[in-house]
Every structure is written in structure tokens, then in C-alpha cells.
Amino acid sequence: MRAHTHTRPTAPATGAAGTRPPWWALALPLPAFAVLLVLVLHPAHAHTAVDPAIAQLLHRAGLLVAAH
């Protein structure tokens, strides 16, 4: 017994996709870029803004990465 294969009809290619990216596709990278830019320009400010527990966790993670 054969199963019928359903194929999609081929539509002619158009010049534009016709879809817009969601609002968060641009909104989320912008604050991340700003934070990274501040960290690169003023690395001393990064230490004071972090909770001590998170700073210790990041320090230990850095040590683990450096060990391998």
C-alpha cells in the first residue's frame, strides 16, 4: 500500500520576504550592547555594580575557564 506524498505548491519568488522582525529583535541587543560598551570603556565601574556573591561566582568561573 502506498502512502500519498503531499508536496507544497511552489510559489513564484518575490523580491522581499514580506515579514518584519519582532520589536524585541532590535530592542534586546541594544541594552546589551550599551552594557558591554560601558564595561569596555570603564571596567572599574563593573566591579562596583555587581553583587559580591555574583562577583565571586564570576571570579570562580573565570578561574575554571583559565585552568582548561
Domain residue ranges in the chain: 24-67
Tell me the C-alpha distance between 18 and 12, whole Å. Answer: 14
pLDDT above 70 for 45: no
- Residue 15 pLDDT greater than 70, yes or no: no
How high is the pLDDT of residue 17?
63
* pTM (predicted TM-score): 0.37
DSSP 2-67: PPPPP-PPPPPP-SS------THHHHTHHHHHHHHHHHHH-HHHHHHHS-HHHHHHHHHHHHHHHH
The pLDDT mean for the chain works out to 76
pLDDT grade for 35, boundaries at 50, 70 and 90: confident
Provide the pLDDT for residue 56.
Answer: 83
